[in-house]
Amino acid sequence: MQMLPIDRRKLLLGGITSSVLCPSQAASGSEVDDTLRSSIARRKIPAVVAMAASANKILYRGAFGQRDSSGVPVGVDSIFRIASMTKAITTVAALQLVEQGKVGLDEPVAQHLPQFRDIAVLQGFDANGRASLGPARTAPTLRHLLTHTSGLCYDNWDGDMFRYASQNPVGDPAQAGPLMFEPGTRWQYGQGLDWTGRLVEAISGLTLEEYFQGKILQPLGMRDTSYIVQPAKFERLVSNHHRNEQGFLEEDERKLPALPKSYNGGGGLYSTAADYVRFTQMILNHGVGANGTRVLQAKTVSSMEVNQIGPLAAGKMKSFKPNVSSDVDMQPGHTEKWGLGFLINTTAYTGGRSAGSLAWAGLYNTFYWIDPKRNVCAVILMQFLPFVDKEAIGMLDEFERSVYRSVVG
């Protein structure tokens, strides 16, 4: 496999102007290059693009591997499916509406989404395995949706939802629920941000694509981020792969994605490392993008960075679909919390991010973290299933350690 680092002399990244690394940064960046070059070959990962930045400056960028089996090399402007990395952007959209007084974090979302009126909650399963439902005692709120404590679960990672979905495979996508538990009583990753997207659309009168472009993406200069891959950008779209029964990564057919019929706040965006770094820089800079554009108030960003789930623990997820995801445990042996939009590690990573850093990921092994204490954010994009595959996590860990060792210092 041919692996080509990007040319750091180039000033234009997918139409977005970026600064050239200074000589000292280039020298330290070469150590990260070596780490990624070695890791991608050893782990047999088809492609990886990675970037690290402070609030206002790019610290590292590199691209290795191939777009697809044709051998075209990837670059920092290559386009990836970022799946649940969409959720943080949806969270920002919802919090903008909170700032404007159009919705409250703790008001029932049924005030804006009638699908949540009289929503049902799972009571259990009878002797024949049939689900028993009853009315929810607690009305789900926007805070519940944003913190994955609403009871809306994905069947990938919740046993009750997996069991319920296997009995009810044809559901009405316009109908919310049922909840797998009373809101506020558990943390379980799920559909809360999917429905937050519908809330944003209901309040704003815009589609998510329209809202994101007008209020977040274009203001931050994220010109390659969209639910739609334009034909002119198809050459930059990276192929997806999946691990087959023999354990090898097999390439999926690469074709221009169809235009979406609707937009999902929980996933569906396409983006680049260069674009998503701009988003993470905005969080580091208390709501202001590296280009000087404010999209959130500083106090709102502060609320995103602190524990919003009390004594509950977050981030541990058992997989019920191993071809889609392995079991998720980002920091084994440690407790994690959830803010508004982000997983928060309560203990520093060895050789890596500080305690109190913010992070999440996308299903196809795309990852980011934001470390306010060290003023550094980073994005690393791969494109294969299952999620948190051991080789993807190994690549993420090696990249993170090399960034802190040679770039952050």
Sheet strands (E) in 307-401: 316-317, 328-329, 336-338, 343-345, 358-362, 366-371, 376-381, 384-385
Neighbours of 243 (CB within 10 A): 17
> Catalytic site residue 84?
yes
Domains of the chain (ranges plus CATH)?
A: 12-95+205-408 (3.40.710.10), 103-204 (no CATH)
Q: Which two tokens stand for residue 251?
A: 């390439």
- Contact status, residue 286 vs residue 236, Cβ threshold 8 Å: no
Please name the residues in contact with 26: beta carbons below 8 A apart, sequence gap of 6 or more: 8
Tokens 């996933």 correspond to: 267
List pLDDT tens digits, range 158-175: 999 999 998 887 566 678
Cα dihedral sign for 307, 308, 313, 318? negative
Predicted local distance difference test score (pLDDT) of residue 10:
30
Element (H, E) at 360: strand 358-362
Task: Collapse the DSSP code of 164 into the 3-class scheme (helix H, G, I; strand E, B; otherwise coil) and give the result.
Answer: helix
Query: Quick one: DSSP state of residue 403?
Result: I
Please name the residues in contact with 403: beta carbons below 8 A apart, sequence gap of 6 or more: 32, 52, 59, 60, 352, 376, 378
CA 243 and chain centroid, separation: 21
* Catalytic, out of 84, 326, 357, 402: 84
Predicted local distance difference test score (pLDDT) of residue 128:
83
- CA distance linking residue 158 with residue 208, whole number of Å: 27
Predicted TM-score of the model (pTM) = 0.92
For residue 251, what are the CA distances in angstroms to 47, 175, 375?
12, 35, 37
- CA distance linking residue 40 with residue 1, whole number of Å: 10
> Catalytic site residue 87?
yes
Tokens 């070469």 correspond to: 30
Predicted local distance difference test score (pLDDT) of residue 127:
83
- CA distance linking residue 80 with residue 155, whole number of Å: 24
For residue 103, what are the CA distances in angstroms to 98, 296, 341?
5, 15, 17
Q: Which two tokens stand for residue 77?
A: 């402007």
Mean model confidence pLDDT for the chain: 92
Q: Which residues of the chain fall below pLDDT 70?
A: 1-28, 170-173
> Catalytic site residue 204?
no
Predicted local distance difference test score (pLDDT) of residue 171:
60
Predicted local distance difference test score (pLDDT) of residue 348:
97
* Catalytic, out of 154, 189, 270, 364: 189
Nearest CA among 202, 146, 195 for reference residue 174: 195
* Catalytic, out of 18, 39, 60, 87: 87
